[in-house]
């Protein structure tokens, strides 16, 4: 996937643990771990909003687009 989440970098910059962030945001540690390791396929805007609020950052600080090969059919949602 061409979108990557840089949660680990932002946490390191803020000197905050994943456990502390989970408590502050109200998201399970397991779900934040999925985001951190890049295994997430989607993120809710409400979760992104809570992460930005607690980490005092912008969505662009967490999300990075890395161009790569075109997605195959069915890999990503259709534009609608």
Residue-wise DSSP of 5-20: E-HHHHHHHHT--HHH
> What pTM does this model have?
0.80
**Cβ proximity of 14 and 20 under 8 Å:** no
**Cβ proximity of 55 and 5 under 8 Å:** no
**Tens digit of pLDDT per residue, the chain (80 long)?**
689 999 999 999 999 999 999 999 999 999 999 999 989 999 999 999 999 999 999 999 999 998 877 655 555 554 44
Residue 36: count other Cβ atoms within 10 Å of its Cβ.
19
Domain positions in the chain are: 3-65
Select from 3.40.50.300, 3.90.105.10, 1.10.260.40, 1.10.3720.10 the CATH code of 3-65.
1.10.260.40
């Amino acid at each position: 996937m061409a979108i990557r989440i840089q949660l680990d970098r932002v946490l390191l910059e803020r000197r905050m643990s994943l456990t502390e962030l989970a408590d502050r945001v109200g998201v399970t540690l397991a779900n934040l771990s999925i985001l951190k390791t890049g295994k997430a396929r989607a993120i809710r805007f409400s979760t992104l909003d809570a992460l930005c609020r607690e980490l005092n950052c912008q969505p662009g600080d967490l999300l990075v687009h890395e161009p790569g090969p075109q997605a195959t059919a069915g890999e990503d949602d259709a534009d609608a």
